C-alpha cells in the first residue's frame, strides 16, 4: 500500500541547508496501525506531510497504492489527498459556525457528490463515531473529545484507503483519549490503515507498530508487544 525509498527532504534558509529526512525507507501494508514517534525536530512531521501528499521530497520515491506519487503534478496530488487520504489533526480544524454535519460534508463537496449523497454519507460517518444524535450542533457547541470525533468522521467520510492522524489526542483529557483510540482501533479492525504521529508512549501502545525518528532517520521499527485493547 505505502512504500517509500531513500526519501531525502532538505530545507534551505539563506545559505544554510537543513536535512529534515536523510534517506528514509518505509513500507506499510493494508490494515496496519502505526505510530510515528520522535522528539521535536526529529523529522516525524515532515515524514507525515510527505506521506499525506502535503509536501514534496527532494529525492527518493513514494509509491501509494501502486502509483508513483513522486511524479504527480500539484493537481494530481490534490486529487490523491482528497480520494485516498483522510486527515485528523491535533487542533481539529473544524469550522466553528457550521454544524458538525456540514463540517463532515465538506470533503464530499470537493469530490463532487450531490447534496443528497453528501448528507447520507456524512450522517453514516457521524453515526460511526457515536455522534448521530448531534448532527445539527455547531462545532463550537461541543466538547474537545466530540470535536475530534467529528474530525475523524470527516476523515473517513470519503472512504479513504489511509487515515493520517497528527497528534490526535494532544489536546484531549484521558477519558477523551480513550474514546478516540477506541474509535481508531475499531476502524483499524474494519480494515482501515492508520498512521499516527504521537509523542505519548501510552497512546502508541494502542497501535500495532512503532516507528521512532531521530535526526531525520528511522532508528527503531518494532511491533507493539502487549498491545492495549479497548
Q: Which CATH number is 198's domain given?
A: 3.40.50.300
Q: Report the pLDDT value the prediction gives residue 210, as an integer from 0 to 100.
A: 98
Q: What is the pLDDT of residues 87-130, one digit of tens each?
A: 999 999 999 999 999 999 999 988 889 999 999 999 999 999 99
User: From the centroid of its chain, how far is CA 202?
Assistant: 18
Q: Report the pLDDT value the prediction gives residue 32, as an integer from 0 to 100.
A: 96
Q: How confident is the model at residue 1 (pLDDT cuts 50, 70, 90)?
A: confident
Q: Report the pLDDT value the prediction gives residue 99, as an integer from 0 to 100.
A: 96
Helices of type H across the chain: 44-51, 74-84, 100-111, 115-128, 144-156, 174-189, 201-204
pLDDT at 139 over 90: yes
Total number of residues shown for the chain: 230
Specify if 212 maps to a domain.
yes
What pTM was computed for the model?
Answer: 0.93
Specify if 58 maps to a domain.
no
- For Cα atoms 98, 106, 28, give the angle at the middle one, nearest 5 degrees: 130
Q: What is the pLDDT of residues 47-72, one digit of tens each?
A: 999 999 999 999 999 999 999 998 89
Specify if 51 maps to a domain.
no
Of 107, 110, 70, which Cα lies nearest the Cα of 88? Answer: 107
Of 183, 223, 209, which Cα lies nearest the Cα of 36? Answer: 209
167 phi, psi to nearest 5 deg: 50, 55
Give me the domain span that covers residue 190. Answer: 28-40+81-223
pLDDT at 230 over 90: no
Q: Which 8-state DSSP code applies to residue 176?
A: H
Specify if 50 maps to a domain.
no
Specify if 141 maps to a domain.
yes
| Cα 165 from Cα 4, distance rounded (Å) | 19
Give the residue carrying C-alpha cell 506519487: 69
Average pLDDT for the chain:
94
Count of structural domains within the chain: 1
Q: Report the pLDDT value the prediction gives residue 125, as an integer from 0 to 100.
A: 97
| Cα 215 from Cα 43, distance rounded (Å) | 7
Q: Which of 21-25, 79-83, 226-230 has the lowest mean pLDDT?
A: 79-83
Q: Are 47 and 54 in contact (CB under 8 A)?
A: no
Q: Are 150 and 88 in contact (CB under 8 A)?
A: no
Specify if 32 maps to a domain.
yes
Amino acid at each position: 500500500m505505502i512504500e517509500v525509498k531513500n526519501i531525502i527532504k532538505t530545507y534551505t534558509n539563506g545559505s544554510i541547508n537543513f536535512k529534515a529526512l536523510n534517506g528514509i525507507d518505509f513500507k506499510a501494508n493494508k490494515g496496519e496501525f502505526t505510530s510515528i514517534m520522535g522528539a521535536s525536530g526529529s523529522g516525524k512531521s515532515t515524514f507525515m506531510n510527505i506521506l499525506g501528499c502535503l509536501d514534496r521530497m527532494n529525492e527518493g520515491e513514494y509509491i501509494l497504492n501502486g502509483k508513483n506519487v513522486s511524479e504527480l503534478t500539484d493537481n494530481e496530488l490534490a486529487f490523491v489527498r482528497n480520494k485516498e487520504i483522510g486527515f485528523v489533526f491535533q487542533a481539529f480544524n473544524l469550522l466553528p459556525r457550521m454544524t458538525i454535519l456540514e463540517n463532515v460534508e465538506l470533503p464530499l463537496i470537493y469530490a463532487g457528490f450531490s447534496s443528497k449523497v453528501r448528507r447520507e454519507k456524512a450522517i453514516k460517518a457521524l453515526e460511526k463515531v457515536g455522534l448521530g444524535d448531534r448532527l445539527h450542533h455547531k462545532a463550537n457547541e461541543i466538547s474537545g473529545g466530540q470535536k475530534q470525533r467529528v474530525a475523524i468522521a470527516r476523515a473517513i467520510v470519503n472512504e479513504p484507503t489511509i487515515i493520517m492522524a497528527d497528534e490526535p489526542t494532544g489536546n484531549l483529557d484521558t477519558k477523551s483519549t480513550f474514546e478516540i483510540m477506541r474509535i481508531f482501533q475499531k476502524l483499524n479492525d474494519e480494515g482501515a490503515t492508520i498512521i499516527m504521529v504521537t509523542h505519548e508512549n501510552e497512546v502508541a501502545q494502542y497501535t500495532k507498530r512503532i516507528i521512532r525518528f531521530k535526526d531525520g532517520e528511522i532508528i527503531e521499527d518494532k511491533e507493539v508487544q502487549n498491545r492495549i485493547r479497548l
